[in-house]
Amino acid sequence: MTHTPIFIGARIYRGSSYGAHHPLSIPRVPTVIELSRALGWLPDAQYRTSPCAKPSALTGFHTPDYIAALQKAEATQQPDPDFDLGTLSNPVFPEVYRRPATAAGGGLLAAEHVRNGGVAYNPGGGTHHGLPDRANGFCYVNEPVLTIRHLLGMGLSRVAYVDIDAHHCDGVAVAFHGSEQVRMISIHEEKRWPFTGALEDDAGGAAINIPVPRGFNDTEFDLILNDVILPAVAAQKPDAIYLQCGADAVTEDPLSRLALSNRCHVMAVDALHAMAPRLIVAGGGGYNPWSVGRAWTCVWATLAGHDIPERLPEAASAILRSLHWSRKAQPTDDLLDTLLDPPRHGPISDQVRTAVAVLTKRLSIQTGKHQP
């Protein structure tokens, strides 16, 4: 890919919050922007401001009644239980329509940017739980689905969707169940909300689901990446890859019990980068302000071709030191002075080995390479 990667952001992410006690009370996209600029990695020529998607664009997946209810909830600041608006997970807040619509607008802009090839990074996107007729799992609008449908609408034939978030992409699976154009590949923690994406669930032939146990480590991630994900993507020969790069599978995140380093995000981006002429990378989960900011900045460095320093310069370190979190846990010095985690290797569990064996056999059958 010779096209210059772009970074898609928006002012609405700065100061917008789901509420003081919600996991998404923390700054995420602004931290990535500030770190990238402090390191000289985000010149104006590579930055794009995300538009706010119009309601008509959102009905490419969501029902008109739901989008109207979402707009009304923003205007009135009143809950609407018919659409799961105003719950603990999906609160009504001042930008409850405009913020997710902006994330979706960023995805549509990313699709337009890569129309003829290239790379786009939309860290505000990756909202993979949104359902057609209601909010779900902190997600009001399903940006990945809208973005992939836009890619297909532009004439692309095959899209690989790879999801390394700690939670299963249930909304994306609903959208593309049985699809012959979209291959969904998801690593996620087993027995974790939304409790979907079992190993045997192939979404009508469209998905590869890889549920992993607590303590899932870098060594296991490397095995799955090289033995399952990359061969599956290569077999599909996609016109475009969409990578959902949620940062909630790292050790420090409070909403999973996985034990990855952010090196796994770098590995995934680096490996997938050259496998299709078009690459869109989005954010997703991530609920520790230091770990998510660091991981997503490493993702941008990898996409944009920058070397990640061993220690941060003072200007970048000061950004991490300025962050606050309502939880009592305080960051270690590594979370304040570095971007890249130390490797978190470990043993390969029997469960992971079994899953890889099952999926490798299934893939070989699907690609006609299985030897009886």
Here the CATH number for the domain that contains residue 29 is: 3.40.800.20
Q: Give the mean pLDDT of 2-26.
A: 93
pLDDT score recorded for residue 366: 83
Chain segment 253-281, per-residue pLDDT in tens: 999 999 999 999 999 999 999 999 999 99
Category of 307 on φ-ψ map: left (φ > 0), alpha (ψ -120 to 50) or beta: beta
Task: Report whether pLDDT(45) > 80.
Answer: yes
Nearest to 215 by CA among 197, 198, 193, 192: 192
Contacts of 269 (CB under 8 A, 6+ apart): 243, 245, 281, 299, 302, 303
Task: Report whether pLDDT(113) > 90.
Answer: yes
pLDDT score recorded for residue 3: 80
Reported as a pLDDT band with limits 50, 70 and 90, residue 365 is: confident
pLDDT score recorded for residue 352: 98
Chain segment 160-210, per-residue pLDDT in tens: 999 999 999 999 999 999 999 999 999 999 999 999 999 999 999 999 999
Chain segment 225-258, per-residue pLDDT in tens: 999 999 999 999 999 999 999 999 999 999 999 9
Indicate whether 371 belongs to any domain: no
Q: 225: number of CA atoms within 13 Å, CB side?
A: 19
Residue 97 CB: number of other CB atoms within 10 A? Answer: 24
Backbone angles phi, psi at 118, to 5 degrees: 130, -170
Least confident of 2-11, 61-70, 172-181, 271-280: 2-11
Task: Report whether pLDDT(371) > 60.
Answer: no
Indicate whether 330 belongs to any domain: yes
Contacts of 199 (CB under 8 A, 6+ apart): 209, 210, 211, 355, 358, 359
Indicate whether 372 belongs to any domain: no
pLDDT score recorded for residue 328: 67
pLDDT score recorded for residue 370: 40
Kindly report the average pLDDT of the chain as a whole number. Answer: 96
Contacts of 249 (CB under 8 A, 6+ apart): 164, 165, 166, 187, 189, 216, 256, 258, 260, 264, 285
What share of the chain in percent tops pLDDT 70? 98
Count structural domains, the chain.
1
pLDDT score recorded for residue 1: 47
* Residue 268 domain boundaries: 6-366
Indicate whether 355 belongs to any domain: yes
Task: Report whether pLDDT(2) > 60.
Answer: no
Chain segment 274-326, per-residue pLDDT in tens: 999 999 999 999 999 999 999 999 999 999 999 999 999 999 999 999 999 98
Determine the residue type at 58: L
Reported as a pLDDT band with limits 50, 70 and 90, residue 15 is: confident
pLDDT score recorded for residue 372: 38
Give the span between the Cα atoms of 323 and 28, in whole angstroms.
10
Give the span between the Cα atoms of 29 and 99, in whole angstroms.
12
